[in-house]
Amino acid sequence: RELLAARAERDAAGGRSDSIPAALHEARGALAEAAGLTIDELPFVGELIEVRTEFEPWRGAFNLALGGFATTLLIDTEHLARFRTAIDSVRTRVRVRYEGAHTGLPTASGADPRRLPGRLDHRDSPFTGWLQDRLAQRFDFVCVDSAAELSRHADALAVSGQMSQGSRGAHGGHGTANVLGFSSAGRLSELDARIAELSSDLGAAEAEATRAAAALDALDARHEAYGKIRDTDWSRVDLVSVEREHERWTRIIGEVAEGSPEIAGLQKQIAEARKKVARLQQETGRAKGVQERIAERWADITDEVDAAQIAVERAEDAGSELSGAEAAYLDERFAGPEAESEEGASRADALLRFDAALDAAGKRLIDDQRAAQDTLVDQRDALRRTLEGFLESWPNPNLRADPDTSIGDFEHLLAELEASGLHELEAEWRDSLVNLSGNDLTNLDSALGRALREIRDRIEPVNRIMQDLPFYDDEHRLQIIARENQSEARRRFRRELREVRGLIDAASSDAERAQSYERMARLIGRIRRSAPDFAELIDVRNHVRISAEKIHADTGEHAALYDHIGEKSGGESQELIAFIVGAALRYQLGDAGSERPRYAPVFLDEALIKADAHFTRRAIGAWRGLGFQLVIGAPNDKYSAIEPHVDVEYDILKDTKGRSWAKPKVGLPHGA
């Protein structure tokens, strides 16, 4: 019955283009007829998906991972309620799962080939969009080559079929029939193998039945003989007479044989013939065993020849032909070690060598396929990284870094760039970039030195003004001193500027230019505003140290150096501050060479109120000597030291309503 069922399913599968078992097809047909739907309106999931060619070794794992979902019927949600009512009275031998699905949803492309959904092709159908979403939601497993990598991902599937989902997992079920695919070729191969196996089992069973019948006949004969022996009255049997008669005839035969050479020769021939018969019987038994094995092998070969012929006919019908490169590749894979001479080899030996070559070639093809799949994945990842790097350098919202969907756009862009000849200008652009950057570095070195000189040049007019302004007493003057604040980092940076410029000038080859460019790029990186050394290396205000030096008015000899105001009295501090702040203002205004600054008014709040008359006089003299017009605000009881040195005074008064006004004070002659 199993053989008949397998042959019937084989005949039915030959007219279909899927791998769904016949029992499920029959059940679907009954349900579709009851619901008034066509077979195309009730597809199995397995009919709508196929394993991509480069991932064929994963077919078994995908069947295990998808499980019952692959044999689930899909039905448009609009028909779901009517379908449930219509099939309720239908009886089927197998239980069929079904699920309502929305049709006409948009389809997606460019799925990640590292995951299960990305390794499947989809048949064009109204359910494709919904099926892609469902696979991404429920079966988005990362495909890994070994079980050791399963724990690295939340959901993962190994090529062995083991899968993990967090702390859960599943394994086993190997040998399950394939239900995925657009073609029935795989299912036909499985059924052919099953039919061959059942045919072999049937032949063995029939042979065993024949042997059992013969053994039963022999047993019946022995049983009948034993029954006769049991029924015989042994007391009536004269054994003595029989034994005497047997001895007499034995003696007569011996005497005759001894007296007749012909009889002795015949007896010898009979003995040899008996030995030969025994030997031939043994050889016959062995030959029967060989014959049975040959018959089984012949049946297998016949099935293989039929399958090969079917494959050849399909290829011829499809117009498939091997190219020269493909034929050479297969010849190389089927080439084995030098065979023995065909003249002395039997057909069996030739067949064995062919089987060995076929098996070795199959293993080589599997290894080549696995290597090609790995190479394809690696090359796709490398291409994706290349496209991502291109888009990072030249962003384009119309392009995606997807090798599967956007490679044509990038090839078109490459063709445009090659047609424009942009790549031919690379060397010229690189040389110009290096030279211009080198010129900029030279200008930077010169600008740093020039900035230091400009600081000193702008301080010099201020110092000339202060040479005429008494400081501390009438015998001393105050000068602003700018000293270069050297550091090892700045010295090394200036030296590298000069060295890089020298490398650029001396570069004569692409390698030397590349080396100088890399060193220049590192140097430029140090002077970017985001670099930690930017302020120290580029801001020239950090390159000089400003201090105030007290000198003798007549000789110019050094008297004291001020670089802080921590230990001075109030009057000394205010005098020093007046000189320094005034000098700084003239420096910042940048017009120290003019008679007066372009902005003269300076407002001081409660300045010089703690200094005595001498310090106050020199401080105000410093401000005026530097060309500034002072406006000093001070409390009424604390400006006595300031009053002798000002031209106009005003009292600020406020009435009870909160209004204030300025009241001038005029000095009167003595005695008026």
pLDDT, tens only, 431-467:
665 565 556 667 777 777 787 787 777 777 777 777 7
Alpha carbon distances (Å) from 458 to 82, 581, 598: 97, 15, 15
Is pLDDT larger for residue 132 or for residue 618?
Answer: 132
3-state helix, strand, coil in the chain (%, to 5): 60, 10, 30
Highest mean pLDDT among 136-150, 355-369, 380-394 belongs to 136-150
Convert 385-429 into a string of H (helix), E (strand) and C (coil): HHHHHHHHHCCCCCCCCCCCCCHHHHHHHHHHHHHHCHHHHHHHH
Structure tokens, 406: 């956007």
Q: Which residue has the higher pLDDT, 456 or 145?
A: 145
* Same domain membership, residue 411 and residue 473: no
CATH value at residue 555? 3.40.50
**Is 641 found in the same domain as 609?**
yes
Q: How far apart are CA 79 and CA 417, in angstroms?
A: 54
User: Do both 601 and 471 map to the same domain?
Assistant: yes
Whether residues 446 and 369 fall in one domain: no
C-alpha to C-alpha distances, 285 to 277, 281, 282, nearest whole angstrom: 12, 6, 5
For residues 463-485, give the mean pLDDT: 78
- What pLDDT sits at residue 340? 46
620 in a structural domain: yes
397 and 462: one domain?
no
Per-residue pLDDT reduced to its tens digit, 540-554: 777 777 777 888 888
Split at pLDDT 50, 70, 90, the class of 317 is confident
**Would you say residue 455 lies in a domain?**
yes
Sign of the Cα pseudo-torsion (375, 379, 380, 381, in order) = positive
Confidence bin at 134 (pLDDT 50/70/90): very high
Domain boundary residue, one of 150, 182, 214: 182
In a shared domain, residues 35 and 168: yes
Q: Is the pLDDT of residue 645 over 60?
A: yes
Residue 201 lies in a domain: no
Q: In angstroms, how far is CA 627 from the centroid of its own chain?
A: 72
226-238 mean pLDDT: 75
In a domain, 594, yes or no: yes
Q: What is the pLDDT of residues 507-534, one digit of tens each?
A: 767 677 777 777 777 877 777 887 777 7
Let me know if residue 671 belongs to a domain. Answer: no
pLDDT on residue 590: 63
Query: How far is the C-alpha of 659 from the C-alpha of 86, rounded, in Å?
Result: 99
In this predicted structure, the answer to whether residue 487 has a pLDDT above a threshold of 80 is: no
Task: Identify whether residues 62 and 163 lie together within a single domain.
Answer: yes
In a domain, 319, yes or no: no
Residues 393 and 283 both lie in one domain: no
- Number of folded domains in the chain? 4
Same domain, 173 and 76: yes
- 233 lies in some domain: no
- Do 127 and 67 have their domain in common? yes
Beta-strand pair 98-101/168-170: unpaired
Q: What is the pLDDT of residue 188?
A: 61
Q: What is the mean pLDDT of residues 78-99?
A: 93
Domain boundary among 156, 182, 208: 182
Q: Which residue has the higher pLDDT, 35 or 555?
A: 35
Most confident of 45-54, 126-135, 363-372: 126-135
Query: Using 50, 70 and 90 to split pLDDT, how confident is the model at 428?
Result: low
Torsion of CA 423, 427, 428, 434, to 10 degrees: 130
Evaluate whether residue 534 is within a structural domain: no
Average pLDDT, the chain: 80
On the question of pLDDT at 492 being above 80, the answer is yes
Higher pLDDT residue, 174 or 581? 174
Residues 77 and 22 in one domain: yes
Is the same domain home to 108 and 253?
A: no
- Report pLDDT digits (tens) over 99-114: 999 998 999 888 899 9
Averaged pLDDT for residues 266-291: 84
Q: Tell me which residue range forms the domain holding 62.
A: 18-182
